[in-house]
Amino acid sequence: MEIQNHKLRLADFGFQNGINEVIGITQGEWINTAPLGLIVEDAEADKAKIRLYSNHTRKNLEREGVLWVNIVHDPIVFALASFEDLDAEWFSSLKPPILKNSLAWCRMEGEVKGAFALLQLKDGEVLQREVKAVNRGFNAVIEALVHATRYVSLKKPEMLEKVEYYIGIAEKCGGEREREAIEIIKKNVGLEI
C-alpha cells in the first residue's frame, strides 16, 4: 500500500514515539544491514535520529547520506544482521533494499553530526499489516542481542551475564525462530551450544 498525496509521517510506517528497533540498511561495498534504534520524538512528523557508534552503518551514512529502514518482526533477521550482513537471498528487492519478510520500508536522508545521525523520511511503503500478540521470547531475543553486540566489541563479563539472562527468557517464551536466533547469539558470543 503506497502512502500518497500528503506529507509523509513516521506514524504511517509503524513508527511510534520512543525508540523503534528496526533493520537499517546502507550502501557500502555490499549492502550493509544492522539493527538500529530509531529515536522518534514526534511520530506525526518526518524527522528522526539514531545514536551511532563507530560501525559500518556510520561510515556508509557519512558517505552516502541515505539510510534505508525495514520494519521486521523476525528474530532470525535481527540475530543475523547483528553480527554479519544479510546476503542477496534475504532480499525480495535490492533497489530499494527490501527484506523478504519486511512489513514496511522507508528511505531516509540525513547526515551524521557528532554521536547522532539526523534523518528525514523521504519515501516508503507499507507492505503487510500483521496481527501479532506480544511474545516475551521475541522481546528477550532483542534484549539479548543488544547486550551481545555490546559484548562482542567491549568484552565486559557483565554484558555476557545479561545475554544469558535474556536467552533464558527467550528459551522459555519463544518459538522455533526465537530458538534459532538464540543459537546464532550463542555462537557469536562464544557460549556453549
Q: CB 145 → ligand FMN: shortest distance, Å?
A: 3
Residue type, 151: Y
Q: Could you say whether residue 32 binds ligand FMN (CB under 6 A)?
A: yes
User: Is 50 or 108 the residue whose CB approaches ligand FMN more closely?
Assistant: 50
In the range 74-113, which residues lie near ligand FMN by CB under 6 A? 82
Q: CB of 40: closest distance to ligand FMN in angstroms?
A: 12
Task: Give min distance, CB of 38 to ligand FMN, in A.
Answer: 7
Which lies closer to ligand FMN via its Cβ, residue 3 or residue 177? Answer: 177
Residue 20 CA to residue 104 CA, distance in Å, equals 13
CA 191 – CA 181 distance, rounded (Å):
13
Decide: residue 54, CB within 10 A, 0-12 exposed, 13-18 middle, 19+ buried.
exposed
Is 149 an interacting residue with respect to ligand FMN (CB under 6 A)? yes
Phi and psi at residue 133, to the nearest 5°:
-75, 155
Name the one range near ligand FMN by CB under 6 A: 10-18, 53-61, 92-100, 126-134: 53-61
User: Shortest gap between Cβ of 192 and ligand FMN (angstroms)?
Assistant: 21
Q: What is the 3-state secondary structure (H, E, C) of 131-191?
A: CCCCCHHHHHHHHHHHHHHHHHHHCCHHHHHHHHHHHHHHHHHCCHHHHHHHHHHHHHHCC
142 lines the binding site for ligand FMN (CB under 6 A): yes
Interaction between residue 159 and ligand FMN (CB under 6 A): no
Least Å distance, CB 110 to ligand FMN, is 14
Beta-sheet strands, E only, within 1-130? 18-27, 31-40, 47-51, 66-71, 91-94, 97-99, 104-113, 116-126
Alpha-carbon distances, residue 106 vs 23, 40, 93, 121, 134 (angstroms): 11, 14, 13, 7, 24
Point out which span in 6-14, 46-54, 67-75, 165-173 binds ligand FMN (CB under 6 A): 46-54
57 binds ligand FMN (CB under 6 A): yes
* Identified binder of ligand FMN from the candidate list 145, 163, 181, 189, rule CB under 6 A: 145
Chain residues binding ligand FMN by CB under 6 A are: 21, 32, 34-37, 50-53, 55-57, 82, 142, 145-146, 149
